[in-house]
């Protein structure tokens, strides 16, 4: 058995016995069930859509929620990968054995990927059937396909923050410091960058044109041409600024999966990916770059304790 797999198996065993890991899965399941209840309430009392579109609305709600939940699991599994070993003083003991540094990091990364896939996959396998039973909803094949493909951007987002927190952990002596820095980076992409992009767009375009009397602002197709143009320019500027944001790219890809929510045509995932290839490329670049940097810094670093 390879040393990489021995390390990965130990990490998997420790996490499968951890209440924190199963707590994350429980949080995902609770999120799915709560989202279904909120959508079900809107369907019953708001008259928002026919019953056969229930799970598509659930998917849209989950897509919005996963933008905040997926990074949490990535950070939770990544911030202590190496920093916690240094903090406990076990890193030199592990490396003093016939274990290469790349074997150690390979095992840690492999276990992190498996744990992320397990957490998100198990949550869906448990949460969706519970929703079907409790809500007595009709889950069509197209709805199921859309929900399953939602796993792609969710997993990419979680792996992105896992790789970022892994890099920070490799360069940290304290797991608490690695956690704080990882969370600050997530807060920047999730909240600060959208505000920055909005400020820049408003500074460039100036205030929006005033609404004529009788215009319904909730329906863009009813807006005057100058207002539609302003909104298009605003979206173009903010989108350009946020092109490096994994959170923004996740939202774009997840929204595209449920873009035809009110239509009968089935999902063409090939077309969705072809039209939103940047939203797939950006998180992949983050993952590759920060994993490579983690190897480079970890192999060259001398452990002091």
Confidence of residue 52 (pLDDT cuts 50, 70, 90): very low
pLDDT tens per residue across span 239-280: 888 999 999 999 999 888 877 544 446 667 778 888 889 999
Q: Tokens for 147, please give them.
A: 């929900």
Residue 193 lies in a domain: yes
Neighbouring residues of 124: CB distance < 8 A, sequence distance ≥ 6: 32, 147, 148, 151
Q: Give the model's pLDDT for residue 261.
A: 44
Close Cβ partners of 15 (under 8 Å, ≥ 6 residues apart) = 21, 77, 111, 115
d(CA 277, CA 273): 5
Question: pLDDT of 87-130, one tens digit each?
Answer: 887 777 777 777 788 888 999 999 999 999 999 989 888 888 88
Residues shown for the chain: 305
3-state SS, residue 213:
coil
Tell me how far apart the alpha carbons of residues 196 and 113 are, in angstroms, rounded to a whole number. 32
DSSP string, 228-254: HHHHHHHHHHHHHHGGG-HHHHHHHHH
Other CB atoms within 10 A of residue 250 CB: 26
Residue 64 inside a domain? The answer is yes
**65-94 pLDDT, tens digit each:** 888 889 999 999 999 888 888 888 777 777
For residue 223, the model assigns a pLDDT of: 64
- Dihedral of CA atoms 10, 21, 18, 99 in degrees, nearest 10, equals 20
Counted domains in the chain = 1
Domain that holds residue 94: 3-300
In a domain, 103, yes or no: yes
39 assigned to some structural domain: yes
User: Over the chain, what is the mean pLDDT?
Assistant: 83
Q: What is the dihedral of CA 208, 211, 212, 217, to 10 degrees?
A: 140
pLDDT band at 48 (very low <50, low <70, confident <90, very high): low
Does residue 89 fall inside a structural domain?
yes
pLDDT tens per residue across span 192-218: 999 999 999 888 888 877 766 555 555
What percentage of the chain has pLDDT greater than the value 70?
Answer: 88
Within 47-174, where are the H helices? 54-78, 83-88, 91-96, 101-135, 141-149, 151-170
**Assigned domain for 305 exists:** no
pLDDT of residue 287: 96
């Amino acid at each position: 058995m390879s040393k990489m797999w021995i390390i990965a198996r130990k990490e998997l065993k420790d996490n499968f016995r951890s209440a924190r890991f199963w707590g994350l899965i429980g949080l995902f399941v609770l999120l799915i069930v709560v989202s279904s209840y909120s959508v079900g309430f809107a369907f019953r009392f708001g008259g928002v859509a026919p019953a056969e579109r229930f799970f598509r609305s659930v998917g849209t709600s989950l897509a919005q929620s996963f933008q905040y939940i997926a990074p949490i699991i990535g950070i939770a599994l990544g911030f202590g990968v190496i920093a916690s070993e240094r903090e406990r003083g076990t890193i030199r003991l592990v490396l003093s054995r016939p274990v290469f540094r790349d074997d150690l990091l390979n095992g840690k990364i492999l276990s992190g990927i498996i744990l992320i896939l397990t957490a998100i996959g198990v949550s869906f396998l448990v949460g969706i059937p519970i929703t079907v039973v409790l809500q007595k909803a009709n889950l069509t094949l197209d709805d199921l396909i859309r929900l399953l493909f939602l796993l792609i951007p969710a997993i990419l987002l979680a792996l992105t923050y896992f790789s970022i927190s892994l890099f920070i952990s490799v360069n940290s002596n304290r797991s608490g410091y690695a956690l704080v820095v990882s969370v600050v980076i997530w807060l920047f992409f999730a909240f600060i960058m959208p505000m920055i992009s909005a400020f820049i767009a408003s500074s460039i375009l100036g205030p929006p044109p005033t609404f004529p009397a009788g215009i319904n602002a909730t329906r863009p197709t009813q807006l005057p041409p100058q207002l539609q143009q302003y909104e298009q320019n605003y979206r173009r500027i903010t989108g350009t600024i946020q092109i490096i944001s994994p959170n923004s790219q996740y939202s774009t890809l997840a929204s595209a999966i449920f873009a035809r929510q009110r239509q009968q045509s089935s999902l063409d995932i090939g077309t969705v990916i072809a039209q939103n290839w940047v939203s797939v490329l950006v998180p992949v670049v983050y993952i590759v770059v920060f994993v490579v940097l983690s190897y480079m810094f970890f192999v060259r670093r001398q452990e002091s304790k």
